[in-house]
Structure 1
Amino acid sequence: MKKLGLVGGMGPESTIPYYHDIVYGVQQKSGKHFFPNLTIESVDVFEVLHLCSEKKYDELTAYLMQAIHNLVKSGADFAALSANTPHIIFNRLQEQSPIPLISIVEASCLEAERRKLRTVGLLGTVFTMRENFFKKPFAEKNIQIITPDDSEMDFVNAKIASELELGIVKQDTLGVLQRIILRMKEENRIEAVILGCTELPLILHDAVSPVSCIDTMKIHIHAIVDAILEE
């Protein structure tokens, strides 16, 4: 059984379900009455977002590599980032990391392919929605990603930063998100929407979304559980 090193804190509200669902997921899948050994290195989500906004990718890489090195020192066999946005530099981290990294983007892309989806919406931070790092693997599998328009992107990004990162869930915010998804469904014929921020499941899920949700956090957790149990 392999030890996970999780880079958490991006933000705390998603790190909590990561921990809970990983340890119970391993217990359930293994069928054994125990919890796996893992280490969480918590970083500052606001520092991550600041470095992204300034496009200081060398500094962001160094910041997250320090977290990964701390996890290596704890005995981690592999690592994962508990957020979508820092995957903007995932390839850099993967090249420099002494241990394997599990990508939330790659895992989500495989799930979309498994569902035989061809057109999907994408919600997340402005970096996730505007940059190419999330879209590229989907395009390689001929899956089209539709993003909101500029004003809608600004709204989604602002609500993630000012509400969801702090665990605040508001019904009026949900209403606007539902209208954004519905517009993309009607105008762009999206078949599902990617919850491309690990805080979005706090407010969006299949029961309230106009289309089915691709919950990147849940998908990532399943991939991590499989990696822990891998012989």
Structure 2
Amino acid sequence: MRKIGLIGGMSWVSTRTYYEHINRLVQGRTSTLSSAPLLIESLDFAPLARLSTAEEWARATGVLIDSARRLEQAGATAILIGANSMHRAYDDIVAAVSVPVIHIADAVGARMEANGTKTAALIGSRNVMLETFYRKRLVAHGVTLLPPVMDNVDEIDRIIYEELMQGRATRSAERTFKTLITNMSQAGAQGVVLGCTELDMVIDVDANVLPIYDGTRIHAEAAVDWILGEG
């Protein structure tokens, strides 16, 4: 199996989910005693959260580049960025290392394309929902995205940062997202993309009114394809 490196800690909750998904998938596809050859660098997310200015993003990009380089030097044959929002720095990270960096939105977009999902809604933190760095990757796979409902953006962002990233899943958040997804279905969405790695804490991925494309799970599956030499 090929060793893979995960830039984690953004948040620690999502890193835990990546670790579990990747190892369960490796175990399921190899043997009951197998585990993934995996390097994790868990960053301090506090100085990387809710970035807005060009200066803040430049500093964060430098932190991620340094992390990717350390993982490569430690023997990683491919890199995962364990946060949707931090894929804003993807191109700079790719240019800084010689191993592949598996993009979460490309993995999701390829899955949607294979399933024939043409129209979808995207749920995530503010910059994932409003900026183009994530959305354009899905569009490149033939997916039309519904425009974000601005009245919902602040509340979704608040739940992500003030609850989910702290490991708290509330019934109120579950109800909020159930209502949002129902509204998205009525607006014409054929599926919903979870563009935040912690959203599976409050959204039922396997039983919902619409097909749910859980980016964390799909990203982990792409990682395991690489580990097993199938990607």
Other-structure match for 1:43:
43
Q: How does 1:23-62 map to 2 (within 5 A)?
A: 23-31=23-31, 33-50=33-50, 52-55=51-54, 56-62=56-62
Structure 2 unaligned spans of 5+ = none
Query: In the alignment, is the contact (CA less than 8 A) between 1:148 and 1:184 conserved in 2?
Result: no
Q: Which residue of 2 aligns with 1:180?
A: 180
CA distance in structure 1 between the partners assigned to 2:193 and 2:24 by the alignment: 24
4+ residue stretches of structure 1 with deviation over 3 A? 206-209
Shift of 1:159: 0.4
Deviates more, 1:95-104 or 1:107-116: 95-104
The aligned counterpart of 1:226 is: 225
Size of the aligned set, in residue pairs, is: 229
Do the aligned residues in 2 keep the contact of 1:72 with 1:99 (CA within 8 Å)?
A: yes
1:192 matched to 2:166: no
Tell me, in whole angstroms, the C-alpha distance in 1 between the residues paired with 2:94 and 2:53.
22
Identity percentage of aligned residues: 28
| In 2: Cα distance, 1:74 partner to 1:7 partner | 13
Please tell me whether residue 205 in structure 1 is matched to residue 204 in structure 2. Answer: yes
CA contact (8 A) 2:8 2:81 kept: yes
Aligned ranges 1:152-191 → 2 under 5 Å? 152-186=152-186, 188-191=187-190
Task: Give the match's secondary structure for 1:134.
Answer: helix
CA distance in 1, matches of 2:20, 2:91: 27
Q: 1:53-92, aligned counterparts within 5 Å?
A: 53-55=52-54, 56-92=56-92
TM-score scaled by length of structure 1: 0.93
**Superposition deviation, residue 32 in structure 1:** 6.5
Q: With structure 2 as the length reference, what TM-score do the two structures score?
A: 0.93
Q: Secondary structure at the match of 2:137?
A: helix
164-173 or 139-148, which deviates more: 139-148
| Deviation, structure 1 residue 173 | 1.5
For 1:46 and 1:100, how far apart are their aligned partners in 2? 27
Matched AA of 2:45: V
Task: Write the deviation string for residues 7-30 of structure 1: whole angstroms up to 9, x where unpaired.
Answer: 111111111121122123112212
Contact 1:117/1:143 (<8 A) preserved? yes
- Matching residue of 2:19: 19
In the other structure, the counterpart of 2:144 is: 144
How far did 1:141 drift? 2.9
Deviation at 1:78, TM superposition (A): 1.2
Q: Is the 8 A contact 1:78 1:99 kept in 2?
A: yes
Alignment of 1:59-138 (within 5 A): 59-138=59-138
Whole-Å separation in 2 of the counterparts to 1:2 and 1:207: 29
Task: Please say which of residues 121-130 and 93-102 is displaced more in the overlay.
Answer: 93-102
Query: RMSD of the alignment, in Å?
Result: 1.6
Aligned residue number for residue 2 of structure 2: 2
Give, as a single letter, the amino acid of the residue that structure 1 aligns with 2:192. V
Matched residue SS, 2:157: helix
3-state SS of 1:53 partner: coil
